[in-house]
Structure 1
């Protein structure tokens, strides 16, 4: 995920030395005042707990093998990933790309044929 994140933000305003790392600052979403108190959503704070949560999510995904539950597993992974919001930018793009890669890893797609984001189409 970190390598994908680094590639996705390359050449954007988020391209910096920490672009590939799990965020070290608090982020929040949907604040008309740009204050966390007014945000619609504030994901878990940065730090050790976030690092552990991301690793546990990846470990959980790798442990899932039941073919009949693939779509449910992908939905659960995507929901948890977006809720953790592990990067400062690009979480939605990474999340959509991960769904595509998960579909391929489970044999649901043989090639990345889905258009998951206009952002990907432009690049």
Structure 2
């Protein structure tokens, strides 16, 4: 049993050092992050031409999270950085039908990220 607990602790430590720890899903629930690194993409499908808006907040303790809102053709519609502190987010864009992507890049980010979308 002790060996199993030791292996579990080593696995959690390896995750913390490589990717960071994440709990939640940013567009459904608040996302809690601990030393998060890397990039995550969240797709938003727009069925009618019009405006898509992503709002929310980030409360960071350390590191930086960069959010980029991308059109279906790959052009950047808006971007925002979340340094340490409490910040509100408002990313918006308008365009044709298609899959829009919210790309979040984490650089040793520790904090909370909450996102809401409206079509």
Give the alignment's TM-score, normalised by structure 2: 0.22
- Greater radius of gyration (CA): 2
Structure with more contact order per residue of length (Cα contacts < 8 Å, sep ≥ 6): 2
- Which structure: greater helix fraction? 1
Give the alignment's TM-score, normalised by structure 1: 0.22
- Which structure: greater strand fraction? 2
